[in-house]
A and B are shown apart, each in its own frame.
Chain A
Amino acid sequence: MNKSVDELKQISLKVREHIIRMSTNGGCFLGASLSCTDILVYLYHNYLNINKHLLDDPSRDYFFLSKGHDVPALYGTLAELGFIQKERLKNHLSVNDFIYWHPNVHIPGVEFHSGSLGHLLSVAIGVAKDIKMKKGNNRVVVVLGDGELNEGSVWEATLIAAAFKLDNLIVIIDRNQFQANVRTEELIPLEPLERKFEAFGWNYFTCDGHDFNYLDETFKKLPLNDGRPCVISADTIRGKGLPSIEQQADRWFCNFTHEEIKMLLSELHSQEISQLKSETLFVR
């Protein structure tokens, strides 16, 4: 039961509302969450064989959010799908729940905890390898941040996934061009990513990570049977949906006032720039 592009857009707006509401009373990694929202919404609605009734089914698809700091997008996506009650998102950062700054398995639908970058590609390789050994057809999808590609363990795992011919493994790079504080290309340049991944034995694709048609076309053309893992570099915009923070280097971890949250929620729909006074907090 795939959703239409219009339906996906409506769902993405709702997920973004959840994310914005989490960027107060302690805040969250707002920009990174907004950049991967459309990818997660697309995957959960139109690609992955996962739902709240399949949580323990070994033939389900597996999704790993390796760049764990963008978990508000995952919380929002899971809440819209009923994995957790929407009400529960109000417990963000509360000691009485587990809705904190990084993913954890206390939240139904979260397959593995993350937060330390460069881990979940290795974990995903273990899952993908086991699926291959048991001749399963399920797919394993991992979202990595572009800044996360600085981690050596990512490249170690990239070599190994190719060596093991894990063509059931799909990596999506949330290519929002930023790491915590600066643009990726101004710090440790990543490009040309295509040549890097192809040299490592992967199939490489690019797409617009906010365009559902483009995402769909790209996912549909993944071979998944040629002995090579796939990587999609999805071009995204950090802070997507809120022009006042889009691509602003200092809008990484955000903790806004309730007044500002109201303005941002309105900006999400009107695209009129809010006058934000709060300084961005750097937490890392």
Chain B
Amino acid sequence: MTYENILRNLVNTDERFIVLTAENRAAIRNLPEEIKDKFIDVGISEQTMVGMAAGLAKRGRIPVCHALSAFLTMRAFEFIRTDIGIPGYPVKLVGAVAGFLSEANGPTHQALEDISLMRTIPGMNIFCPSDIEDMLIGLKQVLLDRNPWYIRYNNLLPPVNHEKDFHIGKAEIISVGYEINIITFGTLLRQAMEASEILNSKRRLTGVINLRTLKPIDEELILKTCTSSPLVITLEDHFLTGGLFSIVSEILVKNRVMANVFPISLKNKWFKPSLLNDAISYEGFDGENIAKIILAEFNKQVHSSVFF
């Protein structure tokens, strides 16, 4: 099963589905021939694509729209908010090369505020799979959901055999950590797993949580994790503002829970453009460096505290 297969099957079996793109065809190269007039390419016009998706949704369609995340969520933001968000149409917005996935494109293409922006829209939901397998497991449920969704497209190879049971708003527990838990989503899952392996080898019991959907989010698991582990790390390829750390902070304050939560994110700057692994390492997001940061934080925050 591929991303294209799932879309093609939906289009062929459910006449509501229609595929749109603002001339971003990387994920859907074979679809124009296969689904014919159910494939609409508007050219490099994100705003019109989103407005048009609203018009199609008004006629009962479920448009699945493709563009680079940076241009989809920012150039067309007001169209998403006003034409999709206000009526709550079930339009699906698929953003490519978000976070570190824009690699060497440079800051113009870096969507590091996409989650922050999308989650402010009432009724909008967010799916951030960690890789192709994780994405395909959840894709059909998300596409068939009757709400609008932003999907952070991800076609990396999976670093783990994923749990096949997918529920919107339920995270996947990769491993349980009694001292440290890394909560993450998307591309950085593999770095989180590498870091956790290093930490476990140093006898710091570390677990990893793959959130899958960020809105709705697995609030129950986040609360449980934050109240039971001495240190929680939020790891994200997103600006510190408005992303996972903000979401977790909001949950904790709302529930009046005090916890040791330490964010690893892009703090107020764009990343140095380069190939994926080089950019990740340069910015200090490789497993080894993350483990180092976490260990230092653990020693500072926890080891010296009343817990031990």
Contact = CB atoms under 8 A, between A and B. Distances in A.
A157 B82 CA distance: 17
A122 B43 contact: no
A80 interface: no
Contacts of B40: 129
A132 B52 CA distance: 14
A112 interface: yes
Nearest to A118: B47
A126 B48 CA distance: 9
B83 A122 contact: yes
A112 B43 CA distance: 24
Nearest to B58: A127
A112 B58 CA distance: 9
Contacts of B57: 126
A153 B51 contact: yes
Contact of B47 (A112, A113, A122): A122
A59 to B, nearest CB: 11
Given A123-B54, A126-B52, A126-B54, A160 B45 contact: yes
29 contacts: A58-B59, A111-B58, A116-B78, A119-B82, A119-B83, A120-B51, A121-B51, A122-B50, A122-B51, A122-B52, A122-B83, A123-B54, A123-B55, A123-B83, A125-B48, A125-B55, A126-B52, A126-B58, A126-B63, A127-B56, A127-B59, A128-B55, A130-B59, A131-B59, A153-B47, A159-B45, A160-B43, A160-B45, A160-B48
Interface of B: 37, 40, 42-43, 45, 47-48, 50-61, 63, 78-79, 82-83, 86-87
Interface of A: 58, 105, 111-113, 116, 119-131, 133, 153, 156-157, 159-160, 163
Closest 9 CB pairs of A and B: A126-B55, A122-B51, A126-B52, A130-B59, A123-B55, A127-B55, A126-B56, A122-B48, A156-B45
